[in-house]
Amino acid sequence: MRRGRIITEQAQAFSFTRRAFVLGAAQTAVGGLLIARMAWLSVAQNERYSTLAENNRVQMTLVPPRRGWIIDRHGKPIAINRTIFRVDIIPDQLHDKDRVLGQLQSLLALTADDMDRIREDLGQARGYQPVAVAENVSYERFAAVSIRQPSLHGVSPTSGYGRYYPAGAAVAHLVGYVGGPSAADYDRTHDPLMLTPGFKIGKEGLERTMEQWLRGKPGAKRSEVTAHGKVVRELTTRPEVVGNALQLTIDAGLQRYAASRLGPNSGAAVVIDTQTGGILAMASMPAYDPNSFSDGISQNEWAMMSGNDHLPLTNKVMQGLYPPGSTVKPMVALALLEAGIDPGQTVNCSGTYRLGNSFFHCWRHSGHGPVNMAHAIAASCDIYFYTMSRLIGIERIASMARALGLGQEFELPMPSQRYGTVPDAEWKARKYKGARWGVSDTLNSTIGQGYMLANPLQLAVMAARIASGRELAPRLIVNRKYPPQGGPLACNPEHLQFVRDAMAGVVNGPFGTGGQARLNLPGVQMGGKTGTAQVRRITMAQRARGDFGVNGVPWKYRDHGLFIGFAPVVDPRYAVSVVLEHGMHGAAGAPIARDIITWLYNRPLAEQRLAAIESESGSIEQRMATEAQAWQHRNDATPSPAPAPAAPEPSVPPQNAAEEPE
């Protein structure tokens, strides 16, 4: 009995010891896990949780960098930065959203569309990602919000920098404008800077193509905040790195003048320094105000511009393609000389040239009588060039056109360039599936009609190469390394001098069609060439009625007016081209070119002429406003027709091409 009791006690003791061991082991394991977890959190994950804790206490925000200035060749500003005021909302700090938004609507005079946009952005925003409420707020409204900020939880009024273009519309197509990044921009880069309020990127022109050079690097600001997001104090700020300055070959004063001188016309003007190739001005009108575009325009404004038949959104200098008309005759004359044609050989111009059963007409219906090459260039005789071009063929003419810059692509940081067409037999066969080149194609091309197309920059380059005798390439940016300029043209210098003298006769001689380009400056003469380009075929019935695309014809059917030139005639320094869309005749561009070149030699005289013109039609801003009102009236009165393209490439070239008096 006693023995049994002892065995039972021993069994109970063993059982207790085993349970204690198991429990102890379990406790030890749990303790070990806790210690390991604590070690993991405090050592291995120390940096992560320290960062999270810091983020609860400290708010980090990016500071958009200031963009580099764009300046002209003299250092004058073309695009600068100026202080602006803005109001944002931090979603995580926003309390009583309806009340706050209601107050902001009253304080900032927000529209219903603004409120819808803000509510939509708030619904998509996350965390501390700010939502823009208003930009470019006046100081009075900014101050009104700032005073009430303690009661407007989540509202963040801040100051920053915005882009400003002092010359406004005059530089719109040159520099473009900036705007807020799109969702596509963020998806492409995943750069958090794209989500920062106030940050903008280049959207058009140089602002777009030179984005990386102009942007700079963002700064950062650390602020200590409460649990509700209220700023307690500023801790540290890392300054941003300002973008690089971009210096252009442009002369800001000349750019403004050229744009103003074009006035209400739809067209373009280009000026090139024939010594350096630097583009001194490239104006395209009408244009938009890049300051308004940077701030954002309404749908009505966008519809007005995109529906305007004068195409204010198109950079006509680079994207406009036009039949060059008689401006190519000096080029054709150079091709004739290089082919061995005697410049003294005469052609009798009766006003009509017969090719089979077709008739090609001279702009002077009664004809010019006997003309040699110099006389034909000065008087712009079509019959002379019809006759002589048949002797050398299109290949020599096309080769010379390319040598002088037509159809050529230039190394310029401009988006969406169009390079035109220098047609020949090979081009036509490729374009029109084996179509053969005909003599009529040669006749049309020799007076700059038919398939031939060029932009105003190429026309200016053609004038610059004739004037300089070199394979000059246009330059736009001073602080960029370009390859060396081309050498002398593969032409006889005597032939080039002959053409220059003939172009001097166009402006200053007794037979010239460009007398309105005469400078009347002591010791300075201009050489040039007028051109009138048809935009539609002229039928015999229209010719009989005198319907040549001038007065009494709808604007979009009127002839283009073109002018190229250089000055001085002796040792040329500047080359110019002017294109007036539907300007009716080439002589219309001559006085504009004259005044632009005059500005380079006698600025007060040029400004006096511009002031006289503006006294009748108003300043460039007033003319733009008048055009906007006219467009609105047309839009309200009748359905808007589809805008005519700036440079239609004809599927069939105009036949029987002829010009009006130039």
Digit-coded pLDDT (tens) for 134-154:
888 888 998 998 888 888 888
pLDDT score of 100 = 86
Q: How far apart are CA 230 and CA 130, in angstroms?
A: 14
So what CATH class is 59-247?
Answer: alpha beta
pLDDT score of 615 = 85
Domains of the chain: which residue ranges? Answer: 59-247, 252-637
pLDDT score of 618 = 62
pLDDT score of 499 = 97
pLDDT score of 547 = 54
- H or E element that contains 58: strand 58-63
CB 279 within 8 A of CB 317: no
pLDDT score of 7 = 60
Q: How far apart are CA 291 and CA 84, in angstroms?
A: 13
CB 135 within 8 A of CB 114: no
Most confident of 13-27, 102-116, 458-472, 637-651: 458-472
Q: What is the mean pLDDT of residues 318-340?
A: 96
Alpha carbon distances (Å) from 569 to 224, 383, 502, 550: 70, 27, 10, 32
Q: Is the pLDDT of residue 508 over 80?
A: yes
Q: How far apart are CA 125 and CA 131, in angstroms?
A: 7
**Lowest pLDDT segment from 271-285, 502-516, 554-568, 590-604:** 554-568
Which letter does DSSP use for residue 582 in this model?
T
- The 10s digit of each residue's pLDDT in 186-207 is 888 888 888 787 888 999 999 9
Q: How far apart are CA 574 and CA 568, in angstroms?
A: 7
For every residue of 414-429, DSSP letters joined together read: -SS----B---HHHHH
**Lowest pLDDT segment from 188-197, 337-346, 592-601:** 188-197
Global pTM reads 0.82
> How would residue 58 be classed by pLDDT, with cut points 50, 70 and 90?
low
**Lowest pLDDT segment from 41-50, 431-440, 493-502:** 41-50
Q: Which residue has the higher pLDDT, 422 or 659?
A: 422
Sorted by sequence, the CB contacts under 8 Å of residue 553 that are 6+ apart come out as 547
Question: Both ends of the chain: CA-CA distance in Å?
Answer: 143
pLDDT score of 375 = 96
Q: How far apart are CA 346 and CA 7, in angstroms?
A: 145
pLDDT score of 3 = 59
pLDDT score of 641 = 36
- The 10s digit of each residue's pLDDT in 380-427 is 999 999 999 999 999 999 999 999 999 999 989 987 788 999 999 999
> How would residue 573 be classed by pLDDT, with cut points 50, 70 and 90?
very high
Q: How far apart are CA 410 and CA 653, in angstroms?
A: 27
Q: What is the mean pLDDT of residues 311-322?
A: 91
Q: What is the mean pLDDT of residues 284-302?
A: 83
As a three-state string, the secondary structure of 530-545 is EEEECCCCCCHHHHHH
pLDDT score of 551 = 59
Q: How far apart are CA 380 and CA 658, in angstroms?
A: 11
pLDDT score of 451 = 94
For every residue of 429-481, DSSP letters joined together read: HHHTTSPPP-HHHHHHHHTT-TT-BB-HHHHHHHHHHHHH-B----B-BTTS-
At position 565, the amino acid (one-letter code) is G
Superfamily of domain 252-637 in the CATH hierarchy: DD-peptidase/beta-lactamase superfamily (3.40.710.10)
* Tokens found for residue 174: 């040159």
Q: Is the pLDDT of residue 273 over 90?
A: yes
- Count other Cβ atoms within 10 Å, centred on residue 316: 30
Beta strands in 226-311 (DSSP E): 231-238, 246-247, 267-273, 279-285
Q: What is the mean pLDDT of residues 31-36?
A: 81
Q: What is the mean pLDDT of residues 601-618?
A: 89
Q: How far apart are CA 273 and CA 275, in angstroms?
A: 5
Q: Is the pLDDT of residue 487 over 80?
A: yes
As a three-state string, the secondary structure of 120-177 is HHHHHCCCCCCEEEECCCCHHHHHHHHHCHHHCCCEEEEEEEEEECCCHHHHHHHHCC
pLDDT score of 444 = 94
Mean pLDDT of the chain: 84
